[in-house]
Each structure stands twice: as C-alpha cells, then as structure tokens.
Structure 1
Amino acid sequence: MQKRFKTLMIATTIALSACGGGGGSPGETQEHYTITLRADKAQLPINIADALPGLGAYRPYTTTLYVEARKGNLPIPGGEDIFACNVAGGLDSGALYYLDGKSEHETEVDDGNGGTVKVPSAYRNITLGSNAGGNSFHFHAGDQAGNARITCTVQDPLDKQQRSASVEISVGGATGKPASVRLAAQVNDILGTKFNANGILNQMAIQAFVMDDANQPTGSTSGSNVQVRILSGTDAAVGARLVAGSQSGSVLQLPSIGGVALFSLLSGTETGTIFLEMTADRADNNVSNGISDPMVGILPIQVMAARTVAPTIDNKDLGTITKGIPFTAYLEAKNGLPPFTWAATGLPTGLTVDASTGILSGTVSQDAAEREYRVTVTATDKNKISATATITFKVVGGLPEDFAIGDCNSTAVCSLGSAPVGKNFTYSFVSSTTGVTWSFGGLPAWLTAGTSPTAGVLNGVPKVTNCGSQRFLVTATKGATSVTRTFNIDVVTGPIPPGGVPEDYTCP
C-alpha cells in the first residue's frame, strides 16, 4: 500500500511539471506575453547617396531589428502574422524592409537601359510571423536627418491585449551649421515689370534654404539666420524691393522654419535680371549679430514686360569680303520682344554693327588679316533676354592693283543705273585708295568728263536719240598701276515739263 502511494505521487509530480512548472507547452500557463525589440545599430548615417538597402559592410545605411515575444521564460508559439511593426515616428528619415527575397516584397523598376530590375519594397508597417518566438526585419535610412521610432506589437491570447516594444534609431550626421544657401522661386513663372499691361504679376514668392554639411535644413536657433539682398548694378534692380511681414527694403534678415525662410520680391519698372544674394553665418547660424563666416548663394530673377518666346539668331555665312570695298549685311533676330540691342565681337577693323538696327557695315581695313573670321553677334530684346549666333566670312585682299573703283570689284559689267531723258545726270567715281586720276573711253556723246582728272566726275543731259543701254570704260590710275572697268547706263523716258513735247522725252 505504501509503495503504491509513492508511485502515485511521482506521477502527480510529473503531471504538475507538464502544466507549466518546468518546460511544458507555454499555452498551458497563465502568464502574460512579454515582447522585446532591439536593433543592431542605433545610429545610421544619412543616405545622401540614395543607396538601396542591403546587409554587409558596404551597406552602412541599413540595420537589422529583432523582435521577440515570450510567455514566462519560454518563446511564444510559432505562426503567421504574429507581430505587427511600424514606423511610429520619423518616417521621413527611413523605412522598413523585409529583405527576405520574396517577390511580393519587391518592386519592379526601370533599370535605365530599356529593361526592368526588382528592388526591395519600402514599408511604413509590416507583419511578421513567429519562429521560435521571434523574427527579424530591417530599417533603411533616408536622406533626411531625424530620429525614427519603430514599434512592434503582439496580441496576448490570455487577455486579448496588445503588448508592445519600441526602439529608436538616429539617422544623423547633421551639424546644424550652415554650409550652403540657395533660393527657390515659384516654378515656371516670371516676374512682370511694375504697371505692365500684360497681366504678369509683379510680385513673386521666394524661399531661402539654409543647409548644413549633410545637406540638411538648418533652422534658426536665435535671431535671424538668413540675410537676403538685392544686388545693385542692373536696370531691373532699380525700384525693386523685398518684403516679409513688417520688413521692406533692399535687404531683409529673416528667421527660418526648418531651414526655410519665406519672403517676396516686388519688381520695379525696368526689365532685365534681378540678382538676389542670400547669406548665412556658419559661425553661429545668426546674421543679426554680424556675419563672421559667410555662406553665400545668388539667384537670378528675370523681369519681363511681356511673355514671349526667347529670341533666336540664325548662324550665317556671309561669304567673302574684300578689303577696301564697302560691305553691308543685315542681321535678323526672331521671336523675343523688340526693340533689340545688337553687339558683335571679333570683327576685323573697319566693320561695325549698328546697335539699334543690327546692320553690319563698313569697309575692311587694308591692315586686317586675310583669313576666315568667326564673329559672335548678340541681340538683346526689351526683356533683356539675349540670343547669340556666329557669323562667318573670309577677308581677302583687294584687286591685284591694290585698289578698286567704287563697289565694282569684279570683271562683270558695272551699272550706274538709269538717266531720264531731259534731266541732268551727274556721277562721281571713287576708289579704295587716294591719289587716283581718272580717264574714260567710249563715253556716250551726251556724257562729258569733268575738267579735273582727279575728280572722276561725269555729267550730261540725255536726249531721246540717246535712249537705251550704253556702255563705256572707266580707268583709275595711280602711278604705274591702273584699273579699268566696264560700266553701263540706261537712258529712259523722262518727265515731260509743262509745255514740253512728249516726243522729246519719251523713249520708243
């Protein structure tokens, strides 16, 4: 009887042990769940390289997180969808990833070569199963500094309550000291001149950004950390001003919110470019107490009187220009807002471009180099928007005799135009050099040469009997050198004076 009682006690002890006293199924205990969450790295660098998540020494922007739940001292049972984890704060600084290689946790993106590639998908919350009471996932840093708080929960089957655990990961590297400054104006917009009649606003909202070493926004700590100034020296700067709240003028000092300061630019009456200078102080991030280590950025703002397509000029080949011979070419600008102002660089001596008409004219000097010229021409419209083009031409020497008669520098017949019957006709020849004497051969009977051989003057009054085209020779002589050219003149019907006989003035 005693032996049987002892056997029963042993069996009872074993049964009690199986109920939770020492290593049995956790589902049979009355203890609540506990959950823990930890990260391999509590600090990550800012991912300014926009690198993809991954593990290993060359993936410094990713860390692994481990979530575990226990019931008493034992792992909770395994199963699907046991843990729910999310980024509970600092989502701008990073996201969660599975990195388990499963296709449902990857996204197909363009690889830039006409194909696609799969990359890990980013999540703000994920669901994990339990294996031996835990699981792992990953957090990958973004390009914004901050503290990300990740929270995981598990439901306790005993009371159906959620148990949670959190961990914070710092995405850092920011110094808080200004390292760069830049301005951003309203996108795809222009500033109109004051009082313009084309409906263009003469006020533009602009934001100033103060960024630190890690290209993170640097907010104001005390005073103002941004100074904005209109740079003088342009027509558009005259009468323009900056406004922000109660401040107004050509210089503003502003505090920033999250590294961003807002102000407006108001235009004056002139077109052109306004250059805005923004300055921050790296020394103490405060410009209101003086600037000892300036960080400067400049933004150009175009001021226009009307919205137009930007002007353009076509490149042009002007061919050959002969030294000593008058030359004219007409340059044209397309689009833009007239009037245009013209300029040219690289012209040989003797040629100039008219600033208001764009006419290129002059006589290339005998001292100019005989070569091909590439000249840059610029046209600036009323909006102060410029266009440039290249004109090319080749400068050659004068005729072998070193001078020419007027603008007739070829072997072709040169025209003196027409002479009306009954009207006095006078023409004076010129050459490309001085000290020339003139002689004429085969002159029509009605034309006579002047008495001075150095004047090169012809005059006369044609009659009806002289009607038609008539040719003669003109020779310019200087020393032992001479140039001869053939000229043509047409005698045509002239005006009939009062009381005149029509037959005396009308060519057949």
Structure 2
Amino acid sequence: MLKKVKFLMLAVAAALSACGGGGGNPGQTDENYAITLRTEKVTLPVNVGSYPAGIGVYAPFTTTLYVNATKGGAPIPGGPNIFGCNTEYGLGSGPLYYLDGDPAHEDDDGNPLAFRSITLGANSGGNSFHFHAGNQAGTATITCSVTDPRSGRVERASVNITVGAGAATGKPASVRVIAQTPEFERLGYLGTKSNPNRIINQVGMQALVLDDGNQPTPDGSGAKVQIRILAGTEAAVGARLVSGNQSGSILQLSSIGGVALFSLLSGEETGPIFMEFTTDRFDNNVANGIQDPISIIEQISVIEGVTTPINFTDVDLGTVTKGVPFTSLLTVSGGLPPFVWSVTGLPAGLSVDASTGMLSGTVSSTAEERDYRATVAVVDKNKLSTTGTIKLKVVGGLPEDFAIGDCNSNAVCSLGSAPVGTSFTYSFVASVSDVTWRFTSLPAWLTSGTTGSAGVLNGTPKVNNCGSQRFLVTATKGSASITRTFSITVVTGATPPGGDPIEYTCP
C-alpha cells in the first residue's frame, strides 16, 4: 500500500511540473514565439536626387521599422543575432540601413552603408532598423523572422512600403542617352568610316524616356522617341542611324521599359555629330505628330587618328616696328595635320595664313604703339582645337635712311687696311639710336669681344692674315634689320727697331 501511494504522489508531481506548476519556473511557458513588424510610413516619395538616408525631419525618404517578438505575451530573451530581416521583394525601390553609428555599418568616411538584408539583436524583445527609398517607384516587401530556440519554429512577419505611390504620370518629362557600347565608353569617340587606324566607326546606343516621377514611360503602341542627326557639321555628312529595318538621318522608335535601341554609323568626315532626341509629352507618341516636344541634344566626336592632344604654347614675339615687314611662323605640338589657324587682336597690317600658321605683314603707320595680346585658335584634322596667346609690342617706324655709317648700298664697303703687327680698332655707327650689332664670318684675328653689342671690332693681324677679307655686319632695331658686307685688307707693317722684317712683310 505504501508503494502505491508513493507512485501516485510522483505521478501528481510530474503532472504539475508539465503544467508549469510545482517546483518549475512560474514564468516559463510552452507557447510559441509571436513576431510583429511595423513601419512608421507605408509610403515614401521617389528619391530622384539620391538624397542620403537619415533620421528626422530632414530625411523625408527614410522610414523606421520596428520588429518585436513575444512568448506568452512576454518579451523574448535578449541577445545578439535574434532577428533576421531582408527585402523580400522590390529591392530596386530601396535598401535597408542600420543607422546605428556602428563603424561596421559605415564606409571609411562615416557614411551609412546600404544592405539588402540585416541581422539584429533583441533588447526587451525587439529592435529597429530603416528603409530608404531609391529612385525607382514600386512596392518593397520587408520580412523579418525569429527562431524559437526550444521548438526550432521560425516565425515571420512582413510589411509593404510603397515608393512613389501615385507619382508616375506616364507623360514624358525627360529623355536621355543611358548606354553605349563598352569600347565607345572607353574611347569617347568614333573613327571615320574609312579610317586606317582601326578605330570603331559605329556604336550601339539606348535612349530612355522618363515621366515626371523619373520613371520609365509606358511602352504601349506607337513610337516613343525620335532621333535625328542635325545638319551643319562636316561629320554629319554621310553619317546615319540604324535600327531594325530603319536607316537614315531620322528614326522613330518604340521602347521596351521606356528604352529605345539604335546604332550610329559615322561618315568620312571628322568633327562633331549632333543628335537630337525628342519625345512627345502630349500623348507619348511621336509617330502621329509631335505636339509638346521634350528634347535633348547629344554630341559624338568623330576622328581619323589618335594623337597626343593638340597644344599651342603662349609666345612673346618681341618688338614689331611700324612700316617694317615682319614674319613669324607659329607652331603647335600634338594634333593631327593639317591645321587651320586664326588669330584675333592683331595690330592693323598683320595677319595669319590659315593653312600654314605664318604670321606676316607690315604694321600700319596708324596702329597704336603699345603692347598687344592676340588670341590664337588652331583646329586640327580631327576638328579638335586649342587656343593660346601671342604677345608683341608695336613701336614707331624707322627713318628711311636706316644705314650702317655711310655704307647704305649692297656694294662691298671697305674698312681700309690694317698693317701687320699694328693694333686695329673700328667702331660702327648707325643712322638711328638703340641699335644692336651682329658680326658674321669675321677674320680670325678680329673679335667683337664684350663690346660687340656696341659695334666695336679690334685685333692685331699677323703675316698669315695678309690679304683682303670679307665679313657681314647686321644692325637691328626692333624687328627691322639691315645687313651689309664689309672688307678689310691686311698689309705689310712697319718693322720695329730690332725686329725681323720678315715677320711684318706680306708676300
């Protein structure tokens, strides 16, 4: 009998323990976890300008989500990695953010990072995170889950957030080129149709038509966009557009997801090609006439060969004298010849040859005597250009009798004779002041020394210098100069006392 009573007491104790009574924890329960997920905002505007995520009134594109879990009405135990949340659908409409200040959730500059899924700990049975609207309208489904560690059951809760609800109008508001072939993106230009340098001469392109909410316009029926090559440039001649069975300088194209596909083929000439993209806001159809055009213009450069960039280095041409002929050859580095030259701001009387870059002419007597800064523009065969500046100073004209001493003709002018062994000095003079001097082909015994700029020659001839010798003398003032031929004859010199006459006697 005692054994039966003891057995019954143990059975009752076990039953009480299973019901949460007896000696067990009175807060313990066998109920399953329950999870809730709610959001402060169920709609957000389309984030057209990619405004950053944040918290507060200055973060209109961000909302906070709250996830909580309970068991038997009480918060679940806290700890790390309790909740897992992800964007189940509509990731293009926006990602998830922690916005908790944790460096692991920020880039090197402290900007918050975007995630498609996040993991959260639990504190008092819950936590919070954020959803940030992107530039694509739509509905995002956010789902969070929690796992009951005792039963292994996974409980889930979801919430929908609509981005740009009612913002899309379907009416075209903008059109833009969004894609080109990778090789063209790398190069940034096309080659001419027959270029020998293996530069691509055609490119596939895509045009995107967007509405007021910056969303792709509906495809529907009819042509959504018109592409036209604008006339007026050399490169436009012979260039054409192609898409399917269409080919020419104008295309009207339908779209898929608001995107129209076509290709541009270059012609034989270099330079820019301007393409006009037009859509019709009135009815999103350009095929039945364009009543409310929305247009942009895109430029494509066409070249014949790849060169280093064309460059003109600023240059100072010095002094230019009125009434005196002047020439100077302008040059560039890089670029593809031939070049086309133009210069603006020159004094009257000077001009540049468009094909050679030769600056020449005679400054007019009426030109102002001052410093000039003229602008040079050069265009190469690729129609690439450069600009620069040339400086020059215009001064008054020279007298008509500009001469070296009395040697004012093209005849040979004689300086007379120089005896062997006798020091010889001669100073040249000009009919105008501030002249600089230059001597060419001087006899070996004659030197200009440090006084050459003053027009002074000196030297002492020897027997081996005997005879007549010629040299050139050039006098320069500003950009004007004259050159004359002079001669001097070395003759027998007087023999000093005790000297050897042979050493002073010319043959």
8 A Cα contact 1:413 1:486, kept in partner: no
Q: Who is 1:363 aligned against?
A: 362
Q: What is the one-letter code of the residue matched to 1:187?
A: E
Q: Secondary structure at the residue paired with 2:111?
A: strand
Q: Who is 1:39 aligned against?
A: 39
Q: Who is 1:194 aligned against?
A: 193
Distance between the aligned counterparts of 1:486 and 1:135, measured in 2?
A: 95
Matched, 1:387 2:383: no
Please report how far the alpha carbon of residue 227 of structure 1 lies from its aligned counterpart in structure 2 after TM superposition: 1.4
8 A Cα contact 1:45 1:61, kept in partner: yes
8 A Cα contact 1:194 1:268, kept in partner: yes
8 A Cα contact 2:29 2:72, kept in partner: no
> Which is worse superposed, 66-75 or 261-270?
66-75
Distance between the aligned counterparts of 1:409 and 1:27, measured in 2?
A: 122
Q: Who is 2:147 aligned against?
A: 155
Distance between the aligned counterparts of 1:347 and 1:215, measured in 2?
A: 52
Distance between the aligned counterparts of 1:47 and 1:26, measured in 2?
A: 48
Please report how far the alpha carbon of residue 237 of structure 1 lies from its aligned counterpart in structure 2 after TM superposition: 0.8
Going from structure 1 to structure 2, the CA distance change for 1:202 and 1:72 (only over 3 Å counts) comes to same
Distance between the aligned counterparts of 2:45 and 2:259, measured in 1?
A: 23
Q: Secondary structure at the residue paired with 1:187?
A: helix
Q: What is the one-letter code of the residue matched to 1:394?
A: K
Q: Who is 1:347 aligned against?
A: 346
Q: Who is 2:249 aligned against?
A: 250
Matches within 5 A, 1:446-485: 468=470
Q: Who is 2:89 aligned against?
A: 89
Distance between the aligned counterparts of 1:45 and 1:167, measured in 2?
A: 17
- Structure 1 gaps, min length 5: 1-10, 111-117, 420-464, 472-484, 493-507
8 A Cα contact 1:275 1:301, kept in partner: yes
Q: What is the one-letter code of the residue matched to 1:40?
A: E
Distance between the aligned counterparts of 2:204 and 2:123, measured in 1?
A: 56
Deviations 1:228-282 (A, max 9, x none): 1111111111111011222211111223334433221111111111111111223
Q: Who is 2:373 aligned against?
A: 374
Distance between the aligned counterparts of 2:175 and 2:411, measured in 1?
A: 68
Matched, 1:179 2:169: no
Matched, 1:28 2:26: no
Please report how far the alpha carbon of residue 195 of structure 1 lies from its aligned counterpart in structure 2 after TM superposition: 1.8
Q: Secondary structure at the residue paired with 2:186?
A: coil
Q: What is the one-letter code of the residue matched to 2:29?
A: E
Q: Secondary structure at the residue paired with 1:180?
A: strand
Distance between the aligned counterparts of 1:102 and 1:221, measured in 2?
A: 48
Alignment length (residue pairs): 406
Deviations 1:369-417 (A, max 9, x none): 3332221112211111112111111223324x5xx36xx6999987849
Distance between the aligned counterparts of 2:264 and 2:53, measured in 1?
A: 43
Superposed CA RMSD = 3.6
Distance between the aligned counterparts of 1:320 and 1:299, measured in 2?
A: 46
> Which is worse superposed, 86-95 or 155-164?
155-164
Q: Secondary structure at the residue paired with 1:59?
A: coil
Please report how far the alpha carbon of residue 328 of structure 1 lies from its aligned counterpart in structure 2 after TM superposition: 0.6
8 A Cα contact 2:378 2:387, kept in partner: yes
Q: What is the one-letter code of the residue matched to 1:354?
A: D
Choose the corresponding residue for 2:114, options 114, 117, 122.
122
Q: Taking every aligned residue pair, what percent have the same amino acid on both sides?
A: 55
Q: What is the TM-score normalised by the length of structure 2?
A: 0.70
Q: Who is 1:280 aligned against?
A: 279
8 A Cα contact 1:415 1:489, kept in partner: no
Distance between the aligned counterparts of 1:182 and 1:409, measured in 2?
A: 71
- Structure 2 gaps, min length 5: 1-11, 414-466, 474-480, 489-506
Distance between the aligned counterparts of 2:253 and 2:404, measured in 1?
A: 72
Going from structure 1 to structure 2, the CA distance change for 1:64 and 1:352 (only over 3 Å counts) comes to same
Distance between the aligned counterparts of 2:306 and 2:17, measured in 1?
A: 90
Distance between the aligned counterparts of 1:32 and 1:208, measured in 2?
A: 54
Please report how far the alpha carbon of residue 284 of structure 1 lies from its aligned counterpart in structure 2 after TM superposition: 2.9
